[in-house]
């Protein structure tokens, strides 16, 4: 193995030990999976019991796949916070100095932190999305409509739940590395993911809706949606691309500053 | 070997470290001494590549720290004992550091044993006392068996047992031929541990000297004399070329003449001496004098303390 390869493997080994040796991490991950599944079950059960009161337009716009994955909306706060904490936890305790003294290759540390968190979140949340999907569809008995994996766009959307949460986790890592404080990082992430869509909705007329479709969370959400939610939607793959662009931009900014800033 | 050339760090309007030139050599405990805020920690962070110098450079074994692939095998440092994740066990903390530098896992057990933490290796470090955290930090510094060790204020907050342990350890490490750099704001501590001193104040190097030389330079500074007829003796000593001040209790404070010469002058003028005493300035005083003008943060001194020191 080359010297660079050995260095990379050592960083990965070290970060993996750190990741798995703190109890709060598995606790948050388990909570995330439960929220995805329970959220989907509750929303599906709600639509089934309320189906008779829905009008024709609502029934036509009903997206059984998306609704069974609605737990993702709450789970993103867990995953995003975990991403922020992965970095800011080291800054607030001062451990980051020990980390960078052991591994002066700072960019490597941040990228590997992101990859480890991302891989774990992706596997776990993909499984949770499938469980939520199947449980949700099972609850959506006739006359309510339900979806099956073979329907157009459905498989992509169910995988989309895991991919979206993976990207939210990486977004959290990047924002955490940029802001370096837990409170600032979590607040920053929540503002971008939760507050911005609401704020943009207050913009009068069509402009609000046009802006909204380019917001990170709205664009990313397209990737786990089957039935478009309105006139202003980017669609699954363009939506994913826009969201990825935000995450990459935040990540690059974090890496550039990481090299320049004192710790 | 640590070498700094014109090392400078500026934060906004504040120059924390101002053109430091020094070398820290193997086989000695080098004390890095200065008042709080003198720039000791900033300098140590620059040595470790954590803070970037505004100007100048510092190298470790002839190379910038940032360029090292396995730094823990060359340099071990304890900056802040509390800089650990409280939820992680001592063992896992050290294991993650060892893994980051390709250090064998057996070293984790070895250093835990060396600092006496084997029995609590599996406990979460959030519950550790300051003394235990300090030992864990030192275990981390020793992990890669490095030839260079740096400790930032290692005895702060320790009980006498812990202080003695750290002192003995640092001397043992230097005796093995390692380079040991220890920062402190306490001269009394450094006098017991260090062979060589780098004294800084307001970011500037005030002294770079072996401890023995500092003691020699500041010893036998004055002689205190008490005599049956003090005022007359004062006059005779002044005639012999001394500078004499008379204390309120009648003691003569003599500089410029050694105690032997004072005795001869006294005998020649048939004085009855009650006391003739060499007064050695303590290292603490020498240090105060060196850093007096460079203390950044100081409370107004109570009158009585000023009187006692003067």
Q: Select the residue of A11, A89, A262 nearest B85 (Cβ to Cβ).
A: A89
Percent of chain B having pLDDT more than 90?
72
CB contact under 8 A, A263 and B69: no
pLDDT of B308: 41
**pLDDT for res B290:** 77
Q: What's the CATH code, domain B2-74+146-216?
A: 3.40.50.300
Going by C-alpha positions, the residue among A237, A194, A199 that lies closest to residue A218 is: A194
pLDDT exceeds cutoff 80 at B276: yes
What is B220-279's CATH topology? Answer: Alpha-Beta Plaits (3.30.70)
In this complex, which of B66, B87, B97 lies closest to A104 when CB atoms are compared? B66
What is the predicted ipTM? Answer: 0.91
Convert the pLDDT of each residue in A51-89 to its tens digit: 999 999 899 899 999 999 999 999 999 999 999 999 999
- Give the pLDDT score at B219: 60
Considering only alpha carbons, which residue of chain A is nearest residue B101?
A10
Give A243's DSSP letter: H
Name which of A7, A10, A97 is nearest B50 (Cβ-Cβ).
A97
Judged on CB neighbours under 10 Å (0-12, 13-18, 19+), B5 is middle
Nearest chain A residue to B89 by CA: give it.
Answer: A21
* pLDDT given for residue B310 in this prediction: 36
Return the ∠ at Cα B102 (arms to B87 and B81), rounded to 5°: 35
Residue B307, pLDDT above cutoff 60:
no
Task: From chain B, pick out residues whose CB is under 8 angstroms from the CB of A26.
Answer: none
pLDDT bracket for residue B216 (50, 70, 90): confident
Pairwise CA distance, residues B106 & A62, whole Å: 60
What beta strand segments (E) does B106-178 contain?
148-152
Band (pLDDT 50/70/90 cuts) for residue B309 is very low
The rounded distance, in Å, linking the Cα atoms of A17 and B88 is: 10
Regions of chain A with pLDDT less than 70: none
Q: To the nearest whole angstrom, how far is the Cα of B47 from the nearest Cα of chain A?
A: 10
Model confidence at B257: pLDDT above 60? yes
pLDDT at B287: 80
Are B52 and A262 inside 8 Å of each other by CB?
Answer: yes
CB–CB of B69 and A14 under 8 A?
Answer: no
Q: Which residues of B touch A (CB under 8 A)?
A: 45, 48-52, 65-69, 71-72, 75, 77, 79-80, 82-89, 92, 95-97, 99-102, 140
Are A97 and B79 in contact (CB < 8 Å)? yes
Residues of A numbered 201-230 whose beta carbons fall under 8 angstroms of chain B's beta carbons: which are they?
none
Average pLDDT over every residue of B3-7:
97
Q: Give CATH 3.30.70.100 domain extents, chain B.
A: 220-279
Indicate if the pLDDT at residue B97 is higher than 80.
yes
Q: Is the pLDDT of residue B281 over 80?
A: no
pLDDT of residue B256: 86
| Total beta-carbon pairs less than 8 A apart between chain A and chain B | 91
What pLDDT band is residue B68 in, cutting at 50, 70 and 90? very high
DSSP A16-59: HHHHHT-THHHHHHHHHHHHHHHHHHHHHHHHHHHGGG--HHHH
CB-based contact (8 Å) between A59 and chain B? no
- The residues, ordered by sequence, that sit 6+ positions from A237 with a Cβ below 8 Å of its Cβ are A223
Look at residue B299 in the predicted model and tell me its pLDDT. 61
Q: Distance, in angstroms, between A19 CA and closest chain B CA? A: 10
A21 closest CA partner among B12, B96, B181: B96
CB contacts of A7 in chain B (<8 Å) are 69
Domain ranges of chain A: 3-260
Three-state SS string over B186-254 comes to: CHHHHHHHCCEEEEEECCEEEEEEEHHHHHHHCCCCEEEEEECCHHHHHHHHHHCCCEEEECCCCCEEE
| Tokens 């060892």, located at residue | B98
Give the whole-angstrom CA distance, residue B108 versus residue B100: 13
Mean pLDDT score across all residues of chain B: 90
Specify the pLDDT at position B218: 67
Which pTM does this prediction carry? 0.87
pLDDT at residue B302 greater than cutoff 60:
no
At residue B304, the pLDDT reads: 46
Q: Which chain B residue has the Cα nearest residue A6? A: B102
- What residues of A are in contact with residue B87 (Cβ under 8 Å)? 22-24
Query: Binning pLDDT at 50, 70 and 90, where does residue B11 land?
Result: very high
Contacts with A74 (C-beta within 8 Å, 6 or more apart), sequence order: A35, A39
B140 contact residues in A (CB cutoff 8 A): 98
From chain A, the residues in CB contact with B82 under 8 A are: 93-94
Mean pLDDT is lowest, of A201-205, B128-132, B173-177, for A201-205
* Mean pLDDT within B129-148: 95
Asked whether the predicted pLDDT for residue B297 surpasses 60, the reply is: no
Would you say residue B301 has pLDDT above 70? no
- Distance from the B282 Cα atom to the nearest Cα atom in chain A, whole angstroms: 37
Q: Which residues of B22-61 are buried (b: 16+ CB within 10 A; e: fewer)?
A: bebeeebbbbbbbbebbbbbbbbbbbbbbbebeebebebe
Q: Which residues contact B285 (CB under 8 A, 6 or more apart)?
A: B218, B309
Nearest chain B Cα distance for residue A11, angstroms: 5
Mean pLDDT within B131-153: 95
Among B124, B139, B135, CA closest to B89: B124
The confidence score (pLDDT) of residue B296 equals 55
């Amino acid at each position: 193995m080359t010297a660079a390869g050995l260095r990379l493997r050592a960083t990965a080994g070290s970060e993996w030990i750190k990741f798995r040796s703190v109890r709060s991490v598995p606790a948050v991950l388990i909570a995330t999976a439960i929220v995805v599944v329970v959220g989907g079950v509750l929303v599906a059960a709600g639509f089934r019991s309320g189906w008779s009161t829905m009008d024709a337009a609502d029934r036509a716009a009903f997206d059984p796949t998306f609704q069974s994955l609605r737990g993702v909306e709450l789970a993103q706060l867990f995953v995003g916070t975990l991403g922020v904490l992965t970095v800011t936890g080291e800054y607030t305790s001062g451990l980051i100095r020990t980390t960078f003294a052991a591994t002066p290759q700072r960019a490597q540390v941040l990228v590997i932190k992101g990859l480890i968190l991302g891989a774990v979140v992706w596997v776990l949340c993909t499984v949770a999305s499938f469980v939520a999907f199947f449980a949700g569809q099972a609850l959506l008995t006739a006359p309510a409509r339900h979806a099956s994996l073979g329907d157009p766009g459905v498989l992509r959307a169910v995988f989309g739940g895991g991919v979206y949460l993976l990207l939210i986790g990486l977004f959290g890592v990047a924002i955490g590395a940029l802001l370096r404080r837990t409170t600032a990082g979590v607040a920053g992430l929540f503002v971008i993911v939760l507050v911005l869509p609401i704020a943009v909705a207050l913009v009068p007329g069509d402009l609000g809706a046009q802006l909204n479709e380019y917001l990170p969370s709205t664009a990313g959400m397209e990737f786990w949606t089957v039935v478009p939610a309105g006139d202003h939607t980017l669609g699954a793959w363009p939506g994913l691309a826009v969201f990825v662009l935000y995450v990459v931009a935040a990540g690059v900014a974090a890496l550039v500053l990481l090299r320049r800033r004192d710790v | 070997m640590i070498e700094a050339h014109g090392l400078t760090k500026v934060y906004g309007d504040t120059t924390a470290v101002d053109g430091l030139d020094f070398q820290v050599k193997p086989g000695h405990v080098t004390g890095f001494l200065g008042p709080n805020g003198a720039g000791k920690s900033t300098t140590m962070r620059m040595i470790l590549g954590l803070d970037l110098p505004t100007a100048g450079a510092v190298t470790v074994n002839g190379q910038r720290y940032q360029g090292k692939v396995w730094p823990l095998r060359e340099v071990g440092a304890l900056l802040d004992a509390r800089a650990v994740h409280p939820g992680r066990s001592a063992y896992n903390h050290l294991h993650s550091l060892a893994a980051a530098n390709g250090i064998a896992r057996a070293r984790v057990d070895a250093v835990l044993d060396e600092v006496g933490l084997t029995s609590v290796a599996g406990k979460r470090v959030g519950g550790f006392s300051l003394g235990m955290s300090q030992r864990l930090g030192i275990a981390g510094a020793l992990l890669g068996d490095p030839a260079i060790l740096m400790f930032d204020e290692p005895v702060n907050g320790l009980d006498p047992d812990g202080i003695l342990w750290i002192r003995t350890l640092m001397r043992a490490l230097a005796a093995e031929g390692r380079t040991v750099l220890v920062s402190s704001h306490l001269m009394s501590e450094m006098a017991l541990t260090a062979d060589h001193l780098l004294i800084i104040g307001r970011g500037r190097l005030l002294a770079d000297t072996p401890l023995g030389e500092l003691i020699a330079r500041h010893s036998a500074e004055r002689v205190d004399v008490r005599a049956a007829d003090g005022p007359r003796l004062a006059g005779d000593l002044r005639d012999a070329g001394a500078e004499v001040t008379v204390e309120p209790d009648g003691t003569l404070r003599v500089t410029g003449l050694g105690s032997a010469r004072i005795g001869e002058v006294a005998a020649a003028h048939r004085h009855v001496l009650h006391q003739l005493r060499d007064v050695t300035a303590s290292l603490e005083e020498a240090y105060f004098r060196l850093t007096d003008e460079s203390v950044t943060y100081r409370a107004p001194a109570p009158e009585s303390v000023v009187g006692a020191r003067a």
